[in-house]
A and B are shown apart, each in its own frame.
Chain A
Amino acid sequence: MFKPTFARSLVLALSLAAAAVTAQAEPEQYFPLQSYRVGPYAAGGTGFFGGFIDYMQYVNANGGVNGVKLTWSECETEYVVEKGVECYERLKKGLNGAPAAATNPLSVGIAYATLDRSTADKLPLITINHGRTDSTDGSVFPYAFPLQLNPYSEVSAIVNYIGKQAGGLDKLKGQKIVTLYHGSPYGKETIPVLDLLAKKYGFTVEHVEVPHPGNEQQSQWLNIRRAKPDWVILRGWGVMNPVALKTAQKVGFPANRIIGNIWSNSEDDAAPAGAAAKGFISITTHPSGTEFPVLKGIKKQVVDAGKGNLADPKRFGSVYYNLGVVNGILNIEALRIAQDKFGKKPLSGEQVRWGFENLKLDDARLKSLGALGLVQPLKLSCADHEGGGAVRFQQWDGQKWSVISDWVQADRALLRPIIEESARKYAKEKGITPRDCGKEG
């Protein structure tokens, strides 16, 4: 059993090494990957980085980005901040002469710890769907990009959806919403925004905390049943999500009145709850599924060719995997846009940042990428590093997610002043003079 595998890996390794040597002459762009494949969050890490790597292989199989091949290497962080910092420092210089384009840690802690370093090293820090909310303001955070969705937009979009279900935002008056949140900074982050929205639209909101890790929620759900809310927003994490769904069923709260947030939306959150999860709604920035042309392409050219990165092929097309693909699309598109300006060669982090700040994906471009409906239309600028702020809603039918809504936008105009105020506070604390975005080209 062991021997053939070993021999095969050895052959593979040698051929890869040989390929690396011959590929030396070709121009390459490098992506340092602070991945995590072991530890408590391995499900997210293997899925996300699997999708990201597979997409890069797919791009390479089709000639790279304007002839520039993509290359990457992994450094295991186990989601531990210190290891992430070490990996960042180890990989930031590039690989064999290929310059690093951007870092994508998929961990709030690591993103925070490398924020200052990224700015000093002029290397974009991509925190897709997570990260500091106020880094949306690119004038204070020139190198941080919370692409697609920051936590404030997330709750705002959920409230807009609830308003739509009620038949208009004005009908929200008198409704009752409970948020069940993970007892961590991540879980608490959106409390002030929900309070603000409640005041604006006249609904009542109640915040219920679940201590980490969230294995025990009996009393919280009994309280929720007593409060009889119209909706429960679940801001969960890891094991907390299936436990919430199971406990809700126990106390008789309907699953189709629970809306999971962006980290309560994967197959790994719903499936363990079994029948209790049937009807559970959650938001997503990208639907799961394998029917998008880009995923079909990956399947054909990468997975079926035996080069797929996922250890478990069944997870192809899952929420985490598709997030990795989406992340790959956004990174590579930024690179492509930057190449239009700086030339079709490997670019420095600073140049790739320009690409991110000028990232623009409309339906026509998404269609040609084969990702229409998978990625939301997105337009970034110097001042706006988020760009999208839209989500779709999906419902769990007991086996898989199916999308039940079109893109629902967050009320970004309402959130912008709060974000700017927070960014200004940060700038004052750190002695940063914000850029003047009016002058940026």
Chain B
Amino acid sequence: MLYNEAGQFSISYAGERRLFRLRQDRRALALLLAFAFVIVPFVGNDYWFSAILIPFLVLSLAGLGLNLLTGYAGQLSLGSAAFMAVGAFAAYNFGLRLPGLPLLACLFLGGVTAALVAVVFGLPSLRIKGFYLIVSTLAAQFFVSWALTKFGWFSNDNASGVISAPPLTIFGVDFSAPVGRYLLTLSVVAALFWLGKNLVRSELGRNWMAVRDMDTAAAVIGIPLLKTKLLAFALSGFFLGIAGSLWAFTYLGTVEPHGFDLNRSFQVLFIIILSGLGSILGNFLGAAFMVLFPLLLSNLAGALPVGLIDPGQLENLQKFIFGALIIAFLIKEPEGLARLWQRFRERVRLWPLRY
């Protein structure tokens, strides 16, 4: 009943090609956005904004960035955190060196810089594939953090090599309170997800998928491999770069190069593996799983009587549970959380009258 699409006919090409063809989807999305933009700022508290919602949104965006490259275009990468770092440091420097440049322009230029760097490290993808490509993106990971530590200019000669967020004001409105930072992050992430969703439906997105599925065949039917692959790196870098600046500016308020280390890359990779490669919604599900689940375990553990288990052991125990759950889950559903959601939707479309 919920997903009954009877009576919804497309009578124009535009109607057929709209982002969400089903009325239920559109309504659900509108409700969700209204909830996120209007209700949450009133009911949430600092802890929810600062420790849960903002990192969740930023990691979803980072997941989307890598998903474009790996899930849609089939290029494996372990350099996500490096591109995030480039975005963060570039946005910081644009704001610093060009006083008066609006915050959103800084974010955008940071993303563009990250895109350019990503293209440079994507060049080897024209010759090599798969695991070999991972090694070349790994080089980005080490090179970027080395360069950011080595040259003090990037961090404005800060003695400790860290950068701090510029004042978060847009058109005179101050976004530096936790709820403001949440709304700022949410707006940027929502806009970029809209862009991402459209990208993968465009000609470019279809070319990516063709390259992913078999690049020789794609070349034979006339898809320009060079342009397609490099654009995948560029757009992925752009999304990751903006995620990086949000991570530094709206989440932590400060960041050092070490904050974007290999572990962060792995974290982003886990998100897209858990969520399902080549899915837009999945990035949210994966990020939610990565952010919320350890917190849930940790908060549950906090409810245990003091002294029952040593705090150090407790942390190891949580890791153990988390790891075991990931393994169990991936055995049960290798295609990720997004696939589970898809299956659920297919079921309810037929419910209650199955064939």
Contacts and interface: CB of A to CB of B under 8 A. Distances in A.
Contacts of B228: none
Secondary structure dominating the interface of A: helix
A76 B160 contact: no
A113 B305 contact: no
A82 B252 contact: yes
A151 to B, nearest CB: 8
Contacts of B55: 82
B159 interface: yes
A306 interface: no
Given A86-B295, A112-B254, A429-B96, A185 B308 contact: no
A93 B47 CA distance: 10
Interface in B169-215: 176-177
A116 B253 contact: yes
Nearest to B50: A89
Interface in A273-316: 311
Contact of B159 (A37, A422, A431): A422
A14 B305 contact: yes
B47 A81 contact: no
Given A9-B307, A14-B305, A426-B164, A38 B50 contact: no
Given A38-B316, A429-B156, A117 B50 contact: yes
A132 B160 contact: yes
Interface residues of B, number: 44
B307 to A, nearest CB: 5
A109 B256 contact: yes
A52 to B, nearest CB: 14
A70 to B, nearest CB: 15
B312 A38 contact: yes
- Chain A interface size, as a band, is 35 or more
A189 B252 contact: no
A81 B252 contact: yes
Nearest to A131: B160
A108 interface: yes
Given A10-B308, A90-B47, A117-B253, A133 B164 contact: no
Given A112-B160, A115-B253, A78 B305 contact: no
Interface string B139-166: 0000000000100000010111110111
A81 B256 CA distance: 10
B314 interface: yes
Contacts of B305: 10, 13-14, 16-17
Contact of A35 (B47, B165, B251, B311): B311
A203 interface: no
A85 interface: yes
Given A85-B51, A116-B253, A13 B160 contact: no
A76 B161 contact: no
Contacts of B312: 37-38, 42, 46, 76
A297 to B, nearest CB: 23
B98 interface: no
B44 to A, nearest CB: 12
B11 to A, nearest CB: 50
Given A38-B316, A81-B259, A86-B51, A115 B149 contact: no
B333 interface: no
A122 to B, nearest CB: 13
B50 A108 contact: no
A239 to B, nearest CB: 16
A183 interface: yes
B256 A112 contact: yes
B295 A185 contact: no
Contacts of A82: 55, 252
Contacts of B310: 37, 311
B167 interface: yes
B349 interface: no
Contacts of A89: 46-47, 50-51
A184 interface: yes
A360 interface: no
Interface string A408-441: 0000000000000010011001110000000000
Given A13-B305, A13-B307, A78-B315, A133 B159 contact: yes
Contact of B314 (A76, A120, A132, A425): A76
B306 interface: yes
B139 to A, nearest CB: 16
A186 interface: yes
9 contacts: A37-B310, A76-B298, A78-B315, A112-B162, A115-B253, A117-B50, A185-B159, A185-B256, A430-B167
Top 10 nearest A-B pairs by Cβ distance? Answer: A185-B161, A13-B305, A37-B312, A89-B51, A86-B51, A185-B160, A76-B315, A189-B159, A116-B253, A113-B252
Interface of B: 46-47, 50-52, 55, 96, 149, 156, 158-162, 164-167, 176-177, 251-259, 295, 298-299, 302, 305-312, 314-316
Given A93-B47, A185-B161, 7 more contacts: A9-B307, A10-B305, A17-B306, A73-B302, A85-B251, A109-B259, A188-B161
